Chains A and B, each alone.
Chain A
């Protein structure tokens, strides 16, 4: 009995110490959405149970290994105890009750994170290898930065053009895979709660430059959001080069094609037009508007040496109008 009493005290102490350690070390990023607050509450319950079970098992183990161990010069058998049905039932029933209540808490927490605000602003999110694009249907704006007004729920309608991606901003906690397929549009709702700059990261391995499939997320005040909307809406009086620049930035082109001459998955656009390139079959060509156009529409046809086919999607004939394609080429031509 003496041993049990000592161990009980030690378990209690270690539980408190471990739990204090876990809570004070800063295990999770900033809570920047209402959902994060709800989820972290459940995390903290988990941390407590982890502290308790860790202490329970390790204290009992280490105590018996030290106190009851076979001392030097002894060669004794341990106490003959084969089991105890009472104890076994006890440590089946109590964990059972714990996991059921945990599942209940988990379900409640999930439900709270998913409370729907019918006034939520809809944003259509399109993922592709390896870029994000955000369309605000209410304002007819497309952007490569996710601008969000603080304290307003957003309703993301997400789809992918190629493989599975996953939407994750660690500070918002919630995560949702983004699937290809028209009938597989996935919804994600959250309410950002702190103004600031965050990074959206693709969390599902999507090949190649998966590591770099990030987009800036800006949570701004409602006034700042409105002025951003006003600024973006005045896009009509842009010249073709500016329009092209906007298009390539918002549709993920620069995820693979750099503008500064550095190497990436696709050829850099700096100084591209007018340059001489060798194709896979050895043929030499001069990059002109015609070649650029055919490379955008049929990316696998004339691959330049040292680049791989089947990386760039063949979707741009449907995605862009003829004028838009010409704007893009005008922009590429402007890069020298």
Chain B
């Protein structure tokens, strides 16, 4: 019993349970003192809030800060490796590599949950008529599918950036290790609260939670808001940490234009996440207050304006799309040169295009509202700014193609997923402009065309690249390679199934299939296409199962990865053994002496070890 109690995550979960109870009792007591009776909705909100804070207390997330506040001694992060082996993944640990893997596992768990939710409603949609779900269940599943996967993506990109950024730039850890661990662990109660929406009546609004519908429907929406709110904290604090790390902790000689290109994408993403996430938190908070306290922000009969919410919501949620995809595009740019043995074409242009996408993303939110009834004079300017995004995105595509041109391509599994990502993202990119010009969007808005379009961008910009990244860096984590055959089965099963799914979605969307409907008229003739989409979805799920089997099996039985298995110039492969040592580059400090991707230039080096005498000299001087 005592051993179980000593495990951080279990302690946290028990604390969350009790904390929720304490919150409920606390709030009910106050209501009783004020002479008010039981009211479920505010009670569960207060309970959820208490639960999340108690989880972090139980886990020990505040212990060091509390001690520091009391003036007691606190260990330096690199001395604070209290746990070893598998155990450290269940604790409040400060090592960025452990946190990266924690994020990664959470992301994959949420990916499975979110994907499974979709499989349920895909069964419902496989033919017309209502078979297994009622309306509220269907709407809840659709909304949770969206938001659970958004959090899966956010934690997935945090996994990549946390594990890799310090290794890529030669830092010994992130700038603020405790804040880093805090950002991860707050995502756990956030996910639990979000999923609990299912047990409080669900919600009917989809992930966009537009009022006045979100003000009226079942109270599960409150758990949805609260979960997203905490996940937003994770995102904001994590990006603050990454920006500081990238700007301040690079190895000697690593000028900004010698950064590994993934670092640029992560920097651009983090700038967006740091400055935009507040808006979704605040807009959801306003609806929470509207429901709890009767403040009429968005309900016209109370003097509010429903369109205002959409502005606030999309001001985050459009940049969010680029937050999701930029790290993935960075992974593509990072891996392509390694596997074609050729420099990344136009490094500076690729780096700057990430920043350009980040900047433009703040100017385009209105294109989600072309039919919403926004002021007439806003639609055309938003169309111009929206289509502008195509320019920096185009630069990326052209640079990838130019990198491939005359490159000596080889095709191990990470390269397959990289190429798959380019093709799928191309589909997402090409189907964007019709939705970006106002008059064609009048037809496309809120149809399955949009569903197909954004699944292409999310898979091309996140799912395929993150699989590429896992196949590529898994040996750095475990010291063993993932099985190639299983990897190829994964790829060749998932890619055609996915294309089948999204082409099907876009086809019926153009012909008049609306989004988020549990049933459709059989006279429209969509039944067979819907069945194909469902089959595609299930095949993707099977391929991902193959991937999970591979992940677990290869950790013990995989081929041992010794040395620079991909023959990469990047420091984590050329200087470090696998698995990466606990203190990164301790005793292997390096300086940057060349460009990161000069493959094919004989005798050139990107990094070189600093000899120990030189370090002493530097310290003395």
Contacts and interface: CB of A to CB of B under 8 A. Distances in A.
Contacts of B433: 46, 49-50, 99, 102
Contacts of A80: 342-343, 598-601
Given A102-B387, A110-B379, A166-B371, A74 B345 contact: no
Interface string B495-529: 00000000000010011101111111100000000
A311 to B, nearest CB: 9
Contacts of A74: 408
A169 B340 CA distance: 50
Q: Which range holds the interface residue count of chain B?
A: 35 or more
A279 B299 CA distance: 31
Contact of B346 (A49, A83, A202): A83
A68 B390 contact: no
Interface stretch (B151-159, B314-322, B392-400, B583-591): B392-400
Contacts of A28: 443, 510-511
Interface in A66-113: 68-70, 74, 76-84, 87-88, 91-92, 95-96, 98-100, 102-103, 105-107, 109-110, 113
B356 to A, nearest CB: 10
B442 interface: yes
A68 B406 contact: yes
Interface in A226-256: none
Given A60-B404, A92-B391, A207 B205 contact: yes
Interface in A249-267: 265
A88 B395 contact: yes
Interface in A268-287: none
Interface in B407-434: 407-411, 419, 422-423, 426, 430-431, 433-434
A298 to B, nearest CB: 17
Given A42-B440, A65-B419, A162 B345 contact: no
B422 A61 contact: yes
A109 B439 contact: yes
A164 B306 contact: yes
B408 A205 contact: no
A182 B373 CA distance: 14
Which of B301, B340, B601 counts the most A-chain CB atoms under 10 A from its CB? B340
Given A78-B407, A203-B514, A106 B439 contact: yes
B446 interface: yes
B402 A87 contact: yes
Contacts of B443: 28, 39, 43, 170, 173-175
Interface string A7-32: 00000000000000000000111000
A212 interface: yes
Interface stretch (A51-59, A119-127, A133-141): A51-59
B397 A57 contact: yes
A175 B408 contact: no
Nearest to A89: B349
B430 A53 contact: yes
B595 interface: yes
B516 A176 contact: no
Contact of B599 (A39, A77, A103, A202): A77
Interface of B: 135-136, 139, 204-206, 210, 212-213, 216-217, 299-301, 305-307, 340-349, 371-373, 379-380, 383-384, 387-388, 390-391, 394-395, 397-399, 401-402, 404-411, 419, 422-423, 426, 430-431, 433-434, 436-440, 442-443, 445-447, 507, 510-512, 514-521, 595, 597-601
29 contacts: A27-B510, A28-B511, A39-B439, A68-B405, A79-B600, A80-B598, A81-B343, A88-B399, A91-B394, A91-B395, A92-B394, A96-B391, A103-B383, A105-B437, A106-B439, A107-B380, A109-B440, A164-B213, A168-B514, A174-B443, A175-B371, A175-B446, A184-B307, A201-B514, A203-B371, A203-B514, A203-B515, A207-B216, A212-B519
Interface of A: 27-29, 38-39, 42-43, 46, 49-50, 53-54, 57-58, 60-61, 64-65, 68-70, 74, 76-84, 87-88, 91-92, 95-96, 98-100, 102-103, 105-107, 109-110, 113, 162-164, 166, 168, 170, 173-177, 179-184, 186, 199, 201-212, 214, 265, 310
